[in-house]
Structure 1
Amino acid sequence: MRAKAIAMLSLVALSACSGGSSNPFGSLGSIGSLNPFGGRDEAPARSSDGMPVAPADGSVLVERLETVRPEPALRGVIIRASGIASTQGYFGARLAPVNGGLPDEAGVVTYEFRVLPPETVEPTGTDTQRRLIVATFVPDADLAEVRGFRVVARTNSVDLRR
């Protein structure tokens, strides 16, 4: 009984460790030397024909990206992004992989930051009120041929390079 109690206390104490990061999420992604992707480039959003294709679920691209960052994870990487919607009320945010999540000829995997629009007209509000945060996990097995990631919004995109 005593051994179980000590083991439980040890596990609880260890679970509170954040790996030395000041990030509230306990990630090492903010430490430059451990970040698996080096640079971050911002560019206007691009599409092959200039017109985005509307998916069957009715989702749209978020208005603009605010931050995109990779975070090392056990056996992979987490791509975390925050975006600002055009008005309040958008929901169901997700990073939707383009091309089935496979890298393009340059080795870049592209994700679209998609949201579902509100059913009624909503007030604009502040950026804080319109902010949406999403993340997706990419396992190590899928990273072998990947040279970087691109996250696309309606008005901009962010490229992460390895």
Structure 2
Amino acid sequence: MPVAPLYERIDRVETVEIGKAYRGIIVQTRGLSRREGYFAARLRLLNDGKPGEDGMIELEFLARPPSAATPPPGPDAVATFPLTAAQYLRAEQLDGAKGLRVVARDNALTQAF
């Protein structure tokens, strides 16, 4: 029986919101999956959390996939199953950054500071 990967990118990121927090910020995201059953959504920093050449810190929107027994979506499936995730970033992590980019399987959203 095939084993599902521990975490994988969700299909679409729909919103990215940045809120102030003590000595940093909180990034809140909402996204959609084409397949029911994803859980434990999270954001993971890419590039060791360092801003890229464009000044953006990149985060990957991930979730635990459903069991391999869950049938995969068909080719015309639309992402309709909602997921949310949040991540705290310390002020030191934001040095030199202009904003954030949250990356999903089918798209990415950018939010300037």
Whether contact under 8 Å (2:10, 2:104) holds in the other structure is: yes
Structure 2 Cα separation of the partners of residues 101 and 157 of structure 1 = 16
Segments of 5+ residues of structure 1 without an aligned counterpart are 1-56
Structure 1 Cα separation of the partners of residues 109 and 53 of structure 2 = 18
* Residues 1:89 and 2:37 are matched in the alignment: yes
**Equivalent position of 2:109 in the other structure:** 158
**Equivalent position of 2:7 in the other structure:** 59
Q: Which has the higher helix share?
A: 1
Q: Which has the higher contact order (CA 8 A, sep 6+)?
A: 2
Whether contact under 8 Å (2:58, 2:103) holds in the other structure is: yes
Corresponding pairs, count? 104
Structure 2 Cα separation of the partners of residues 133 and 156 of structure 1 = 16
Higher gyration radius (CA) = 1
Segments of 5+ residues of structure 2 without an aligned counterpart are 74-78
Whether contact under 8 Å (2:49, 2:93) holds in the other structure is: no
**Equivalent position of 1:134 in the other structure:** 85
* C-alpha distance 122-131 of structure 1, shift in aligned 2 (>3 A): farther
Indicate the RMSD between aligned Cα atoms, in angstroms.
2.0
Match of 1:121 among 51, 63, 70: 70
Could you tell me the percent identity over the aligned residues? 34
Structure 2 Cα separation of the partners of residues 110 and 142 of structure 1 = 12
What are the residue-to-residue correspondences of 1:15-54 with 2, within 5 Å? none
TM-score (norm 2): 0.82
